[in-house]
Chains A and B, each alone.
Chain A
């Protein structure tokens, strides 16, 4: 415990770094997954290519991907970008399927009604299809976020600083409090982020809590 109180400031600062390292890829990966998922949802051929491909990407071991990144994108060995790009790829691998499934789950009669009322393609996507996908998408984003928080630690092995650095350093120095502090910090981050995403997902989908008999204020 004395190690934690002595290094509390450092723990906080690295936690911040760790979050950026793990979550920026979630954001970017999400933005890229939406059009890819839409393509997979829209055309069967695209789906039969994109979904297995993303599954395949996900099976690449993270350490291997971190190590080959500089060769692929021309970065320096110690560049955090190596980890971020790799984590973005994992996010896309997870979310393309989520987006496609979420769009598939939008009820056909709702889509038909939107078309019949004269929605343009793009407008319908952003005001009907996407909002209705949020519940399924939230589940996918939560998995991606938690996965990335855990994977970001591995970046420490190739020298990109994260909460994982406490583990590598702790092992080198046989400093158990440091190792445990690192593990606990990663766990706490993952749990907090997951809970926050769950909460945000609920807040932006008030209609999912609206059921007959449980209407707000009004009675019938």
Chain B
């Protein structure tokens, strides 16, 4: 556990980077510090491993005041992932990952074996170990950065805007990877970002900082979206918070209605409604518009279909895939207005409608009111 007790950081010129911060980060959780630049989130993070010293107040790690510990010793027990990865350009990937074990006095062979295991853990081929960081893509470098931070198996991981320098698609992959790793490793992670979406996706708890180093709100992400503490938080959280809040409500029990489907090659059904075209494994291919001409001799072909929208995975348990948000998005993005519900294998099981999502939402609200 990490605890900030009335921590203030004031620079000699009088600027206050962190103002009377008090919060505790629970062990085994991902806690995200988020806020605009100059809000003191990175400064707060760096006070945990004494890269920055607090002017007043205490930072405790497992009940011990960090100010009373030797910086080098303290830091070897706390993994640190930095923006742009901060890999050593002159060392191979394997040696980069082996850095902290070697500093802590492991034998070279043992450190390297451990480093190879970690490359595998973060999803990189072991052959990458022989390369130099410049030979990897930004996303791969960031994975190496995470592997390096985990090398000595520290209970705490500090992550300082680790994914901000990679493109959005890669970033999303890295975020999913981090959640997967965390499910396996159960570290205490403090993650700094200026991206509220990243904070809401990753954080079990989110601390929103405002300029001047003041903590504006410290809450679970669903709470942050549902009940922002003040105008600053609500504007920082953004416009679509109602919609995004759906991501935290399970779609369990939402009605999945029957949906008419037709396999490719079959006869065109006679109906006035949209029909979903599926392949041999019942996976969606596209929509057949009412009165559509996407047919040859009266049978359905894959050409000329309307492309489908996002899919709602009824078995989706991880992240937001099984949430009301994904059900709503499936309905909204589908050209027919019918959200396509699929099972774990991607086969169509039926349809969900925006109405059923709204019904589920009001039910959830009633339950919350009576609870």
Contact = CB atoms under 8 A, between A and B. Distances in A.
Given A117-B100, A214-B135, A220-B128, 15 more contacts: A107-B86, A112-B51, A113-B82, A113-B86, A116-B51, A117-B76, A117-B99, A117-B148, A118-B72, A132-B89, A132-B90, A212-B136, A215-B135, A218-B127, A218-B130
Interface stretch (A61-69, A75-83, A191-199, A203-211): A203-211
A213 B341 CA distance: 42
Contacts of A74: none
Interface string B124-136: 0001101110111
15 contacts: A107-B86, A109-B83, A115-B75, A116-B75, A118-B73, A118-B74, A118-B100, A207-B89, A210-B132, A210-B134, A211-B134, A212-B134, A216-B130, A218-B128, A218-B130
Contacts of A119: 72, 103
Interface in A72-126: 107, 109-110, 112-120, 123
A116 B160 CA distance: 11
Given A118-B73, A118-B75, A110 B49 contact: no
A201 interface: no
Contacts of A39: none
Contacts of A114: 86, 88
Task: Determine the interface band of chain B, counting residues with CB < 8 A from chain A.
Answer: 35 or more
B147 to A, nearest CB: 13
Nearest to A110: B86
Contacts of A207: 89-91, 132, 134
Interface in B65-85: 71-76, 78, 80, 82-85
A9 interface: no
A11 to B, nearest CB: 41
Contacts of B72: 118-120
B76 A118 contact: yes
Given A117-B99, A218-B130, A218-B131, A112 B82 contact: yes
Contact of B86 (A109, A123, A215): A109
B137 interface: yes
B199 interface: no
B105 to A, nearest CB: 12
A116 to B, nearest CB: 4
Contact of A117 (B80, B85, B90, B135): B80
B87 interface: yes
Contacts of A117: 75-76, 80, 99-100, 103, 148
Nearest to B86: A113
A210 B90 CA distance: 10
A99 to B, nearest CB: 17
A128 interface: yes
Interface in A153-180: none
A131 interface: yes
B75 A110 contact: no
Contacts of B100: 117-118
Contacts of B88: 110, 113-114, 128, 132
Nearest to A135: B90
A98 B71 CA distance: 31
Contacts of B103: 117-119, 123
Of all A-B residue pairs in the complex, the 7 with the closest CB atoms, nearest first, are A113-B86, A116-B80, A118-B75, A210-B132, A118-B76, A109-B86, A118-B72
A118 B75 CA distance: 5
Nearest to B89: A207
B86 A210 contact: no
Contacts of A110: 86-89
Contacts of A218: 127-128, 130-131
A25 to B, nearest CB: 28
Contacts of A205: 90
A120 B73 CA distance: 10
Given A112-B82, A116-B82, A117-B100, A212 B130 contact: no
B251 to A, nearest CB: 39
A115 B75 CA distance: 8
Contacts of B74: 118
B89 A113 contact: no
Contacts of A131: 90
A215 B131 contact: yes
A174 to B, nearest CB: 55
